[in-house]
Chain A
Amino acid sequence: MNLFAYTIIAGVMYGIFFGLVGLGLNIVFGVLKMINLAHGDFIMLGSFLAYWLYTLLGVNPLLVIPIAVATFFLVGFPLYYAFVPRLLRSKDPEMLSFILFFGASQVIEAVIIFAFGNNQRSIPSDVFGSSGFVIFGQRFPIAWLITTLVALAAFGFVYWYLRHTRMGYATRAVMANRDEAMLSGIDVNRISAFVFCMGLALAAIAGVFSFFIIGSSSPSMGPELTTVSFAIIVLGSLGNPLGTILGGLIYGVAVMFMQSYFSSWADILPYVLLIAVMLIRPEGLVGKAARSA
């Protein structure tokens, strides 16, 4: 019974964090209808930013959040304008963007290996203090609580942005129908660029806290994180950012159950989930179709 309770609670926290891992990918997909195959590498970049700031200057990971957001907005805008408008005009934006972002992911991975070497890095989990906290008789490290709260705050921010700001309103219009949004006078390119940067920044924030949930960070962890993120957003529903948290929760609880009860098969879970959902209910648990013929 103890194991069961631990599994559920850990699964929920783990899942909320993985919701954040998928959130940036989903928000970019919602607006651009492109799969950012370098998403996992942006998470990795976020984690290396945090690692570097922590080991060199002792910056607390919580303080890295604003730095990460600023950095990725600065990087994101030129990236967006260099590639995306061109891709949107091409004959097959979906496939070509997929391949291009894949190229970008390889470039990022190679550059980080040059800079940091191909090793695992970590930030000690007692950076927020060594005290634990207790839920329903189960003890967890404080870093888990902080990570969960950060992830929830990120979802809260996205909710507030989409529902209660003018730009969020325009963003929802672009998500619903890009052409019609353009015809009704919305500056679609500006919105897309902003949301693209927001997606990268969210990925980076997930990266900053990845140490505490995943354990360590390595330059080549990008592709696997991208696949897991994709599984989560397909579960939650593609293009619906807030549905991501649902996908994350299902994924988190399922992973924890596998690890507790069938640990040797736990690694296979995200992939099987992804394939199963795409074949059985490709519109996700609350959304639109991604399948044809």
Chain B
Amino acid sequence: MLKKIFPSLGVVLVVVAMFLGLPSIYSNQSFLFNLMLYLALAEGLNIIYGFTGYLPFGYVGFFGAGAYGSAIAVTLLHISPLWGVLWGGVAAVLIGIILIPLLRLSGAYFAIANLAASQALYYVVSNPALEKITQGPYGIDLSSVYNANAAYYALLGVLVFAMVLVAFIRNSDFGLCLLAIKEDRVTASLAGVNIVRARSIAWMLSAFVAGLCGAVFGWYSAVFYPSTVFSLDVSVFTIVFVLFGGIGTLAGPLAGALILYSMYNFIGISTPQYFQLFYGLLIIALVLFLPDGIASILRKGKVYVP
């Protein structure tokens, strides 16, 4: 047991050291911020997809709920943006609770229903009829509390939380129970596992991480629109990163996000289609040749992937 915790701890420390050290060498903070954002989102999505097999195509819904939850708390209730981040997480969990019935759907049906839920949420938030609360399509202005450095380190905190959460789940009885549900629900429930409760907990933890990410993103951006924080691209990128790295591990999604997001930054930002074409082909190749991601190559070589 302990033997397996040390590699995980090592991974967490390397990532933390990287994001503490890099700002002094590399001045593009916005790139580092977005990279961290996708690392954290990838681990958050990994909790639900990697351990239970539910593919949340509408994961961005939690991200948007977090951004709006915290922004509304900051602008209307005048709490500090750091506390607002927590509010964002809570807002996402609330949305997660509302969506718990979706977990009764299996496989692709769940994925599509979840996608529909995030779209529905987007249309609610951006509806001009709710302008008093959400500003409708006109977006949120948080420039009065803007503090890029504070948001950067807050996100590092969120990332550490997400990584520790995944490392814990991976090495705990709870993780075993989630993996059991993924493999065979009947066998799991006959081992005494309360399936509905276990998968709901995983779902809410996953939502919480995305909510925190969305909240910090809103803070860092200062001004954002519903179409940015509910953009399907957020779900899509996160899913692709996790698939590429390897689900159900701590290091896989980190590696996936690190490699692909850096690549996106170099080839994608000016002409996003190059990257879209690339990851579209990558997804097809992964499904056909490497469904368990790059982590599975190492595993075949009997290397333990934390």
Contact = CB atoms under 8 A, between A and B. Distances in A.
Whether chain A touches chain B in the assembled complex (some CB pair under 8 Å): yes
A182 to B, nearest CB: 23
A292 B113 CA distance: 14
Contacts of A118: 273
Contact of B107 (A95, A104, A275, A282): A95
A105 B236 CA distance: 12
Interface residues of A, number: 46
A265 interface: yes
Interface in A86-106: 86-87, 90, 92, 94-96, 98-100, 102-106
A199 B273 CA distance: 27
A169 interface: no
Contacts, number: 128
A291 B280 contact: no
Nearest to B118: A271
Nearest to A279: B101
A98 to B, nearest CB: 4
Interface string B76-115: 0000000000000000000000000110111111011101
Contacts of A35: 108, 112
Interface residue SS majority, chain B: helix
A90 B289 CA distance: 11
Contacts of B55: 95, 98-99
Interface in A267-293: 267-268, 270-272, 274-275, 278-279, 282, 290-293
Contacts of B281: 103, 107
Interface in B23-58: 53, 55
Contact of A271 (B119, B185, B276): B119
Interface stretch (B14-22, B120-128, B160-168): B120-128
A114 interface: yes
Nearest to B111: A98
A242 interface: no
B284 interface: yes
A230 interface: yes
A177 interface: no
B108 A102 contact: no
B106 A292 contact: yes
A102 B115 CA distance: 13
Contacts of A131: none
Interface in A226-243: 227, 230-231
Given A99-B243, A107-B284, A271-B123, A293 B104 contact: yes
B280 A290 contact: no
Contacts of A230: 112
A149 interface: no
Nearest to A223: B232
B21 to A, nearest CB: 34
B195 interface: yes
B119 A111 contact: no
Contacts of B101: 279
Contacts of A264: 127-129
Nearest to A86: B288
B287 interface: yes
B104 A275 contact: no
B283 A99 contact: yes
B280 A106 contact: yes
A5 interface: no
A83 interface: yes
A110 B284 CA distance: 14
Given A271-B123, A282-B109, A293-B104, A103 B273 contact: no
B117 interface: yes
A106 B276 CA distance: 6
A246 to B, nearest CB: 19
Contacts of A268: 119-120, 123-124, 127
A153 B195 CA distance: 48
A147 B114 CA distance: 32
B287 A291 contact: no
Nearest to A264: B129
A113 interface: yes
A118 B127 CA distance: 25
A282 B119 contact: no
Contacts of B128: 264
Given A95-B55, A103-B284, A106-B277, A271 B111 contact: no
Given A268-B123, A291-B104, A227 B291 contact: no
Given A83-B288, A95-B107, A100 B283 contact: yes
Interface string B260-294: 00000000000001101101111110111001000
Contacts of B195: 293
Interface of A: 35, 83, 86-87, 90, 92, 94-96, 98-100, 102-111, 113-114, 118, 223-224, 227, 230-231, 264-265, 267-268, 270-272, 274-275, 278-279, 282, 290-293
Given A272-B120, A278-B102, 10 more contacts: A83-B288, A96-B287, A102-B283, A103-B281, A110-B280, A113-B273, A265-B127, A278-B105, A282-B105, A293-B104
